[in-house]
Structure 1
Amino acid sequence: MTSTFTPSTAAFRLKLPLPLFGLAGGIVLWWLFTTPLWHSDLIVADFSPERTIAALVQLVSTGTIIPHIQTSLRRVLIGLVAAIAIGVPLGLFVGLSRRLERSTSALFQFIRMISPLSWMPIAVMALGIGDLPVYFLLTVAAVFPILLNTTAGVHAVDHRWLLLARSLCATQWETTWRVIIPAITAHVLTGLRLAIGIIWLVLVPAEMLGVSAGLGYYILDTRDRLAYSELMAVILIIGAIGYGLDSSLRFAHQQWTHHGQSQTYS
């Protein structure tokens, strides 16, 4: 019995280990820049892969980092929910009203170009020290990708669907709920993916606003304790969690898109 070998099969086999090759190459470069073989700086050696992995294992095995991860994820969830509650309805209103869109477009684009971290002093003065300014900054960071993608989704709705709804004497609410919202879900998921990327970048500096827990706080704590191996371990944790969040939303987007295509052609 002979096996069939095609170029597509070979390409599939070659693609499987490529991410591993990329990670291995990054680890080699990391080791080259931190190995004591090239320099005698003991501080730089604390950032080496060996010491970082040892610190990472210790942080996870002892559970030291778990409360900080939970606190950061809770803040991200609250900020994201607040951004969805603001961005999706506002995006619907803007998308459905050309006059409202023209009157708010310049304002939204102007505010969107201001870094969320620029609001840090104002957030502290207005909301005090604690979780509230962090929630505010994360919401500001996430709301505009969701709002703009929701508006773009409304504009992308097939006009034939709207004409069909009108021909069936559907009200504006029924058209919005049964036609527009299902049609823009893929755009909203794209906005969520962009928002989670921005919110995760803003999280660490936002958690340096006088809070007593979180990944950003723990980075400051390791710096003050000169625990550089732990600092690098927390950086790896931040990257791994961010990658996991992005991958989850990418998978949800792909599943929804596939489901929508299946419904269209069935």
Structure 2
Amino acid sequence: MEKWLLPLVAVAVLLAVWHYSVLMTGTRVFPSPLSVWRGILELLHKHVLWADISDSLRRVVIGFAAATVVGVPLGLCLGWFPSLHQVVNPVLELLRPISPIAWIPVSIIFFGIGDPAAIFLIFLGSVFPIVVAAASGVSSVPPLFRRAGRNFGLTNAQLLRRVIFPAALPQILIGLRISLGIAWLVVVAAEMIAVDSGLGYLVIDSRNSGKRYDLVVAAMLIIGIIGLVLDSVFRLVERIRSVRWGFRHAA
């Protein structure tokens, strides 16, 4: 009961503080919770909210999936071959700290205004944490595991699939979860500049079209709620997959 009650109380307190802060300051710029709720209903009535949510989620899914397909195998290879990691790591550490937002002009030059530019930015923001997590997960597997696998006559491919990857899986999942959060952050920023739809575009368009700050805050809240849902779903999938993987290999 407390698991659900305490968060609901925290949300209620936040809404109360928000409401009375707007009331006491008398501001006409920052909207009240009721104004934001009316803004959400207006967006639903105009049939634009679900389309923007769908566009943002579609870009995140494509960019995150591409980052996973590239990042996990690359990280496994870097962790499996220390000499290769030594060669590639300086390049990774040079590119990794660069904010995906800094790549916006480059993405527009290469891809123009549209989905490819936003997806490219999501890919860049997501791929590096996945590569680092996968490489770190493989390199942190105790050497005893490898020796035991070789003693049982496993080939390199079998050793990687049946021993190394399961041992590194928890760290890989952590990297995927972090990357998903980054992807959701990046898509909002990219949509403010590189595309003309999505929740990020809704924020900037509401600001520019009559300074509708009620719609701006409504879009911000929806972005936060979807981010929370994505993280919760991923944590649930992470627990389910870990349990199933453990049972499969225990058998």
The answer on whether the counterparts of 1:76 and 1:203 sit within 8 Å (CA) in structure 2 is yes
- 8 Å contact from structure 1 (residues 204, 215) kept in 2: yes
State the TM-score, normalizing by the size of structure 1.
Answer: 0.86
Residue 186 of structure 1 contacts residue 257 of structure 1 at CA under 8 Å; is this kept in 2? yes
Question: Given the alignment, which residue of 135, 144, 158 partners 2:128?
Answer: 144
| Mapped contact 1:149–1:188 kept (Cα < 8 A) | yes
Does structure 1 residue 247 correspond to structure 2 residue 247? no
Q: Determine the C-alpha separation between the residues in 2 that align with 1:264 and 1:178.
A: 8
Residues 114/210 of structure 1: CA separation in 2 closer, same or farther (3 Å cut)? closer
Q: Is the 8 A contact 1:134 1:209 kept in 2?
A: no
Secondary structure at 2:163 match in 1:
helix
- The offset of 1:134, in angstroms, is 0.8
CA shift at 1:230, angstroms?
1.4
1:235 matched to 2:220? The reply is: yes
Structure 1 portions without partners, runs of 5+ = 1-12
Q: CA–CA distance in 1 between the matches of 2:250 and 2:164?
A: 19
Deviation of 1:94 (Å): 0.4
Partner deviation per Cα, 1:143-165 (whole Å, 9 max, x = no partner): 01111111111123343332232
Q: How does 1:134-213 map to 2 (within 5 A)?
A: 134-213=118-197
Q: 5+ unaligned residues in a row in structure 2: which ranges? A: none
Q: Select which of 14, 17, 28 maps to 1:42.
A: 28
Give, in angstroms, the shift of residue 84 of structure 1.
0.7
Deviations 1:42-81 (A, max 9, x none): 233xx11001012113323553200111110000001101
CA contact (8 A) 1:157 1:183 kept: yes
Q: Deviations over 1:64-108 (max 9, x none)?
A: 200111110000001101111111111011000111122222221
Alignment of 1:61-80 (within 5 A): 61-80=45-64
TM-score (norm 2): 0.91
The number of residues matched between the two structures is 250
Contact 1:157 1:184 in 2 (8 A): yes
Match of 2:67 among 62, 65, 83: 83
Among 15, 24, 40, the alignment partner of 2:12 is: 24
Answer with 142-151 or 171-180: which moved more.
171-180
- Percent identical among aligned pairs is 34
What is the rounded CA distance, in whole Å, between the counterparts of 1:16 and 1:235 in structure 2? Answer: 23
CA contact (8 A) 2:166 2:245 kept: no
Q: Output the CA distance in 1 between the equivalents of 2:173 and 2:183.
A: 15
